[in-house]
Amino acid sequence: MARFRMYPTSEQEQRMLLHCAHARYVWNLAVEQHAHWRLGRRPTPGFVEQCRQLTEARRENEWLGAGNADVQQQALRDFAKAKSARFTSGFGEPTWRKKFKHEGFRVIGTDRVPEYHADGTPKLNAKTGEQVMGRAVVVDQVNRRWARVKVPGCGWVRFRLSARGKGAVPPDAKTFRITLKNGQWHAAFAVIPDSVDAPGTGGVIGIDRGVTITAALSDGRKLNCPQLTVRERAQVRKHQRRAARAPKDSSLKTAAYAKAAKLKAREANRRKDWCEKTSTMLARTCDVIRFEKLNIKTMTRSAKGTLEEPGRRVAQKRGLNRAILAQGWGLLRQRTGHKAPGRVEDVPAPYTSLRCSACGWIDKNSRKSQAEFVCSSCGFTCNADTNASINVAAGQGGIPRPRRTAGAGGTTPPTRSRSVREPQPVWAGISFLEGEDVKVDPWRPPSRASSVPSSPRRTPI
Ligand SMILES: [Zn+2]
């Protein structure tokens, strides 16, 4: 995905806002239509039938008819795609789009270009034998820094070429999506980035992701994802406070919330930028990149509980979740996978942070604190995150979990029939179990043993 900031003129902005409204209206109609389906009713209309209905609706509704048919039809196509990918995309069923929140529309290229097969031969129509013409976005590069793109009803809209070198403007994009968020317009071209060539040195690197250090590399480097500065965070709080105290439905309230949202958007931009740069660096310098396998979705689950059984320490867990999500772990893994296809591996995470990378001994007492690792068996001393990343680099796939009876590799003697866990700080702990003194490390995700209340008689695996 290549995303660029757009700078429309005020007239263009008005037109584009109308496109957003039309696209949202059509999308929501489709959501409503599909929400009506019940067992025993006839199937809900698909894309082709919906397009036919859209033509009818455009004839009857003057507001809709005045809009651009392509923009409205693309909203239906987006819906059809979202609907068919609802089990695999992770987003679930397509839901309502809200004004100011989900502003955007898709533009289909108006340029017709001949299509070719992968081997370079022209694509021919099977029946008529004519050349197949595909769609292409009309993009014009103005100079080194600026380019412009045709948007229906708006003419040329200029955008800033922020990515340098090749691939700045993808020439083969068939469509692109325009979005408005926090007062900023962006154009995202649907294109998969070129994979980065492996250096061919045979270098393997392991990456341990944490909250204090975003990514600890097995060669000792510690990379941190930039976040808001202390001053910026104070400003966010200030704007949120002003918004909360402003009278209801006042312009003051809207303005204060907008200012806070703008700062948060800045943080997200910084995070994305860091993930892009870091993943490119990793793909360029290492042949094999190993991440520990994290299920971020379950790790950042809320501690809220249900109405009958409310959870405890909900606010603290929320803070931890926010800290985890601010690290961009998932994005870093995803983008590295895009740029180095076939060279990224996921290593099972258990015990990577407790195992001594020198002798393989697993003992929770080796982990002296968040940062310090001193092996209780061989005395190997290392930064705890670096130690974990070395374990990740080694790949833990074949190593079995520690057993109660000491075998090769060693084990922690069983204490209170708990499985091996990392040291838990007392001062920032989150207790998950009633009456038990189980703490969650604020720098590290809670392991399954702590978040799922288990019977005290459970034997460790
Ligand atoms: Zn050791």
> pLDDT tens, 84-130?
988 887 788 899 999 888 899 999 887 787 888 877 788 888 888 88
pLDDT at 320 (0 to 100): 84
For residue 346, the CA-to-ligand 1 centroid distance in Å is: 24
CA gap 107, 152 in Å, rounded = 8
Distance in angstroms between the alpha carbons of the first and the last residue of the chain: 43
Task: Select the more confidently predicted residue: 239 or 349.
Answer: 239
Question: Residue 12 has what pLDDT?
Answer: 94
pLDDT of residue 104: 94
Going from the Cα of 355 to the center of ligand 1, the distance in angstroms, rounded, reads 8
Q: What's the DSSP call for residue 116?
A: B
| Mean pLDDT calculated for residue range 283-290 | 91
pLDDT band at residue 397, thresholds of 50, 70 and 90? low
* 394 CA distance to ligand 1 middle (Å): 15
Q: What is the pLDDT of residue 278?
A: 92
Alpha carbon of 392 to ligand 1 centroid (Å)? 16
Q: Rounded to the nearest whole angstrom, what is the distance from the C-alpha of residue 358 to the centroid of ligand 1? A: 5
Find the Cα–Cα–Cα–Cα dihedral 349, 353, 358, 361, rounded to 10°.
-90
Question: What is the per-residue pLDDT across 408-421, written as a single tens digit (0 to 9) for each?
Answer: 444 444 444 444 55
**Listed residue (148, 264, 278) closest to 217, CA to CA:** 278
pLDDT of residue 43: 87
Asked whether the predicted pLDDT for residue 424 surpasses 70, the reply is no
User: Cα of 399 to ligand 1 centre, how many Å?
Assistant: 16
Answer yes or no: is pLDDT of 438 > 70.
Answer: no
CA of 287 relative to ligand 1 center, distance in Å: 28
| Interval 401-411 mean pLDDT | 47
pLDDT in the model for residue 401? 53
3-class DSSP assignment, residue 70: helix
Compute the distance from residue 209 Cα to the ligand 1 centre, in Å.
22
Q: What percent of the chain has pLDDT over 70?
A: 83
- Say how many Å lie between the CA of residue 445 and the centre of ligand 1: 24
The pLDDT score that the predictor gives to residue 80 is 93
Q: Count of alpha carbons within 13 Å of 446, Cβ hemisphere only? A: 26
How far does Cα 205 stand from its chain's mean position? 22
For the beta carbon of residue 452, count every other beta carbon within 10 angstroms: 10
Average pLDDT, the chain: 81
Measure 374 CA to ligand 1 centroid, in angstroms. 8
Q: Which residue did the predictor score with more confidence, 245 or 328?
A: 245
| Most confident among 53-67, 119-133, 165-179 (mean pLDDT) | 53-67
